[in-house]
A and B are shown apart, each in its own frame.
Chain A
Amino acid sequence: MQSANTLLKKIIRSSVLPFAAHNGMTKDFFPLRRALSLSLCMKQDNSQSPSEKIDLDGWKKVMKSGLQEVSETVSQHKELSTLAGARELLEMWRLAGRSVPENITEEQLKGFIECPSKSAQKKYLKFLYLKELYKKKDKRKMIEKREKRLEAQEQDSKPDETKKNSFICFWANSMDKTYNWRVAQSMIFGQPLVFDMSYEKDMSIREVANTVRQLVLSEGFNRRSVDPFHIHFCNLKEDSLYQKEFIKHYKEAWGRLLVTATDQCYTEVFPKDKLIYLTADSPKVMKTFDHDKIYIIGSMVDRSIKTGISLARAKRLGLETAALPLEKYLLWSSGAKNLTLDQMMHILLTLKDTGDWKKALEFVPKRKYTGFVNKPVHELKKTLNLINTLKLGRRQEEIRKQFAKSYSKKLTQE
């Protein structure tokens, strides 16, 4: 009886009643009350059951309480500019759990508004979101590293016992000097390698940015190689997007870079018969690396694969073309045959040093092929032919069997 009394008190105290009355929701309220009284009876029968009834609409009260001032401020700035409106909307998307960056700059917001479709907006936001995520992750790692380093320093802060070393310590600075010396030499005596910078109009802004990133990587690999190429950026116009991105990456080092950047076309710089345009669409397959030729690579990232653009360029200029012998050496599994610019650089550098296709094609991403062709191609063809003749042979046997069957049928009929 005592427990029933406390229960009743609780019901009266509970917020269901005033809340429901306040909202005038009699419809919803009645079944609830019925449920309450029912559970009351049950409680009296069975005293072991949980003693408290849940206030089901309590959350609404919590959500509505103390919000008066918020709603007032809302009504104050009703008219929002498009930018502010978009920012508002993004914030709501973020709250709803979509892939939206937490912080967004004015410029990015404009980019978002200018997206031509809803799916383009979604993609752009996801890109920004992931970018932000990686940045945060890197920052966190850096902080962790620093802490660890400090810890380590504290631990071995023994009396400074200078380590005696007979070798001179090679600092990054002196390494750079050696590299630069080599590249400078290649600029006088080295084999030219041309990057064709004339695809800006075929790419989106993001693709141009990716292209330049790959070019920066390529230049880095080249600089550190034993026998670097003399890199030419041909058709590179002043104030082009390419140029702007380059400056973004290299800053003031862009002017000191040991490469030849020119707005001239390669056909004006080099004799035409020495040029070979490397493109995956070429019908001709490269057999050996020729040290006397000048290879051209199109500086293009095409996410939506635009077949035949670079081949068309070579056709227009009447240049020889070549494709890497990917099919010949690799059992291709999936992915497009166009490789990134830094992969091309690795492959060409290796070819130049060793002439070994197998070594060079190690730089093709592993996900794109299942393995190297271990036998020469003509031998593979031979086994293929053998399989085919076996298949055909079996078919012939089947025909013979069928003939025998019908023949015996004929015999029995007669």
Chain B
Amino acid sequence: IQPPEKPLQAEEWNRLRESFSSPEIFEEVMLNSMVRYNSPLDVAKSLLTHVAKSHGDIAYSLLVKYLALCVQQGKTSEIHDVYDIMKTRYKVLESGAYNLLIRGLSNSDQWRMAFTLLEEVKKIMIPSRGNYESCIKAASRHREMNLAFDLYREMLDKDLVPTLDVLQAFFDYSRGMKGAELQKELFGILFYLRDNQIYPHKTFMRSIKLWFESIPGENWRGHLTTIKDSGQCPVCNHQLEDSNLTEEDYNNLRERIIRDVIHGTDTFRKTSPQEFEAFQTFVENRLPFDIVIDGLNVSHMKPRQTQCENLFNAVNCLAKGNTRLLVLGRKHMLTNSSNWRKELMKEMQDKADFFFAENISEDDTFLLYATLQSGKHCKFVTRDFLRDHKACLSDSVTRHLFRKWQRGHQIAFYSSEEGNHINFLPALCYDCVVQTTGDTWHIPYKNNFEEKYSYQVPRKWLCIQQK
């Protein structure tokens, strides 16, 4: 229903209400549509007056909806009035009203009031990240950076994930401000991006660039660029961090993969202890491999060729020089069939080591184990994004390690349209995260509104250096 344009008299509201299909929820529906059509406040007031006069009271849900309308139109004094009324009526308010009040007040000149409300919310529940966002933005808008950073740290302590908007606000409002403490805090945000492998979008990147360039007396210059495959920045010729994990991280990751992904709650779910042991001895005896291939995944590369031929092509492509290959498969590949021809399998087994798992076991887990066991140089080939394995890892730190390792060690492939040629995309040799050397910063960014999957990395970079 469309709300009226002008305030109505009581009898006019009554008439409207009676013509409505379900009169008992008429007020709710009407106020909802007022919010949707952004009706003048007076219209809503006249409805509330009508309700108050006929029932002697206004339901809480109606007050909240009216509050939403006030917040939408930025009517601060009305927000205050509604809050006063609510406070006298009810012991506590609920999250919906608090969200609206905090949002509404933080945008007004009474933004400090939003902070007292935030304290009130803390008494009954954990505030949402939206609540923090409003308050942080209000504080930084009024250049109270210390206050804003206090809230930001508090928010992180509560395991709330800040929106990119909040982080950007810090950079926007610190522009041109001096202070070692402030600078440290903002670098802290950049390190937060690094640790959580978050990529800023283009406008956020621009805010970062402008902030760097605005620091008085430090002479930072930023350039947009793309990094070469070699990992060198074309602007400052600086070599980016490589994607290798540290010894400690590497061992950590390997242990966690064995514990969480392969064994999990029950070793029998993905393999069996006997089989895993057999695989372990098999791998130990033949270490180290250079490339580990997910045989079944590769064999589905081209639907028009038999699986056997696909795998054969891939093995031939990768077996150059004396690279040591390991192909993982399942036992059914050994039974002679139209898809798996015995002669070709024989021929391949001369060029690479093969391990055949039980048909009901998961070969991906073996792939991870063999690659990690072979050492840092070893790569693996599969088109799988390994998302389900990443999900098995229990904490986000290890998951980030896994992603980093995957970026540096997974060889993806695609087949060209014609011919038997297979193209392998080499793993990135540099690491795609926010990084610094002290006098340079390199920040990868993505386009606004760009759909980016979690396994993809952006190609565009912001290079910032101190002249």
Report chain B residues within 8 Å CB of A85.
Answer: 92, 123-124
Report chain B residues within 8 Å CB of A67.
Answer: 88-89
Closest residue of B by beta carbon distance from A392: B304
Q: How far is the CA of A162 from the CA of B42 in the complex (A)?
A: 73
The binding surface of chain A is classed by DSSP as: helix
Would you call A63 and B57 a contact (CB within 8 A)?
Answer: yes
Asked whether A156 is an interface residue with its Cβ less than 8 Å from the other chain, the reply is no
Would you call A93 and B88 a contact (CB within 8 A)?
Answer: no
Would you call A70 and B59 a contact (CB within 8 A)?
Answer: no
Interface 1/0 per residue, B404-416 and A, CB below 8 Å: 0000000000000
Asked whether B51 is an interface residue with its Cβ less than 8 Å from the other chain, the reply is yes
Would you call A96 and B268 a contact (CB within 8 A)?
Answer: no
Tell me, rounded to whole Å, the shortest Cβ–Cβ distance linking A139 to chain B.
Answer: 21
Report chain B residues within 8 Å CB of A25.
Answer: 77
Q: How far is the CA of A27 from the CA of B76 in the complex (A)?
A: 12
Would you call A92 and B60 a contact (CB within 8 A)?
Answer: yes
Would you call A96 and B9 a contact (CB within 8 A)?
Answer: no
Interface residues of B toward A: which range?
35 or more
Report chain B residues within 8 Å CB of A56.
Answer: 7, 42, 45-46, 49
User: Contact partner of A89 among B51, B57, B58, B124, CB < 8 A?
Assistant: B124
Would you call B53 and A58 a contact (CB within 8 A)?
Answer: yes
Tell me the B223-282 residues at the A interface (CB within 8 Å).
265-270, 272
Report chain A residues within 8 Å CB of B360.
Answer: 283, 311, 315
Would you call B9 and A313 a contact (CB within 8 A)?
Answer: no
Asked whether B52 is an interface residue with its Cβ less than 8 Å from the other chain, the reply is yes
Tell me the B333-364 residues at the A interface (CB within 8 Å).
359-360
Report chain A residues within 8 Å CB of B77.
Answer: 25, 27-28
Report chain A residues within 8 Å CB of B267.
Answer: 312
User: Contact partner of B92 among A62, A92, A308, CB < 8 A?
Assistant: A92
Would you call B61 and A97 a contact (CB within 8 A)?
Answer: yes
Would you call A62 and B52 a contact (CB within 8 A)?
Answer: yes
Report chain A residues within 8 Å CB of B156.
Answer: none
Asked whether A102 is an interface residue with its Cβ less than 8 Å from the other chain, the reply is no
Would you call A309 and B48 a contact (CB within 8 A)?
Answer: no
Asked whether B56 is an interface residue with its Cβ less than 8 Å from the other chain, the reply is yes
Closest residue of A by beta carbon distance from B125: A89
Tell me, rounded to whole Å, the shortest Cβ–Cβ distance linking B124 to chain A.
Answer: 5
Interface 1/0 per residue, A300-312 and B, CB below 8 Å: 0000000111011
Would you call A312 and B125 a contact (CB within 8 A)?
Answer: no
Asked whether A356 is an interface residue with its Cβ less than 8 Å from the other chain, the reply is no
Closest residue of A by beta carbon distance from B60: A95
Asked whether B16 is an interface residue with its Cβ less than 8 Å from the other chain, the reply is no
Q: How far is the CA of A196 from the CA of B281 in the complex (A)?
A: 35
Asked whether A316 is an interface residue with its Cβ less than 8 Å from the other chain, the reply is yes
Please report the total number of A residues contacting B with Cβ < 8 Å. Answer: 40
Report chain A residues within 8 Å CB of B113.
Answer: none
Would you call B89 and A55 a contact (CB within 8 A)?
Answer: no
Tell me, rounded to whole Å, the shortest Cβ–Cβ distance linking B399 to chain A.
Answer: 18
Report chain A residues within 8 Å CB of B97.
Answer: 92, 96
Asked whether B458 is an interface residue with its Cβ less than 8 Å from the other chain, the reply is no
Asked whether A177 is an interface residue with its Cβ less than 8 Å from the other chain, the reply is no
Would you call B266 and A309 a contact (CB within 8 A)?
Answer: yes
Tell me, rounded to whole Å, the shortest Cβ–Cβ distance linking B17 to chain A.
Answer: 16
Tell me, rounded to whole Å, the shortest Cβ–Cβ distance linking B173 to chain A.
Answer: 29
Report chain A residues within 8 Å CB of B8.
Answer: 54
Report chain A residues within 8 Å CB of B90.
Answer: 92, 95
Asked whether A57 is an interface residue with its Cβ less than 8 Å from the other chain, the reply is yes
Tell me, rounded to whole Å, the shortest Cβ–Cβ distance linking B53 to chain A.
Answer: 7
Task: Point out which of A64, A67, A96, A311 has the most chain B C-beta atoms below 10 A from its C-beta.
Answer: A96
Closest residue of B by beta carbon distance from A92: B94
Report chain A residues within 8 Å CB of B64.
Answer: 96
Would you call A64 and B45 a contact (CB within 8 A)?
Answer: no
Would you call A52 and B9 a contact (CB within 8 A)?
Answer: yes
Tell me the A63-118 residues at the B interface (CB within 8 Å).
63-64, 67, 70-71, 74, 85, 88-89, 92-93, 95-98, 118
User: Contact partner of A54 among B9, B91, B268, B270, CB < 8 A?
Assistant: B9
Asked whether B85 is an interface residue with its Cβ less than 8 Å from the other chain, the reply is yes
Report chain B residues within 8 Å CB of A307.
Answer: 269
User: Contact partner of B85 among A28, A50, A58, A60, CB < 8 A?
Assistant: A60
Asked whether B210 is an interface residue with its Cβ less than 8 Å from the other chain, the reply is no
Would you call B7 and A54 a contact (CB within 8 A)?
Answer: yes
Q: Which residues of B are at the interface with A, using a C-beta cutoff of 8 A?
A: 7-9, 28, 42, 45-46, 48-49, 51-53, 56-61, 64, 77-78, 81, 84-85, 88-97, 123-126, 128, 265-270, 272, 359-360
Q: Which residues of A are at the interface with B, using a C-beta cutoff of 8 A?
A: 23, 25, 27-28, 50, 52, 54-60, 62-64, 67, 70-71, 74, 85, 88-89, 92-93, 95-98, 118, 202, 283, 307-309, 311-313, 315-316
Q: Given known contacts A59-B52, A96-B97, A307-B269, what 20 new A-B pairs fall within 8 Å (CB)?
A: A23-B81, A28-B77, A54-B46, A55-B49, A56-B49, A57-B45, A59-B48, A59-B53, A64-B88, A71-B88, A74-B91, A85-B124, A89-B92, A93-B95, A96-B64, A96-B96, A118-B128, A283-B360, A312-B269, A316-B268
17 contacts between A and B (CB under 8 A): A28-B78, A56-B7, A57-B49, A59-B45, A59-B49, A59-B52, A63-B57, A64-B84, A89-B92, A93-B94, A96-B64, A96-B97, A98-B94, A308-B269, A308-B270, A313-B268, A315-B272
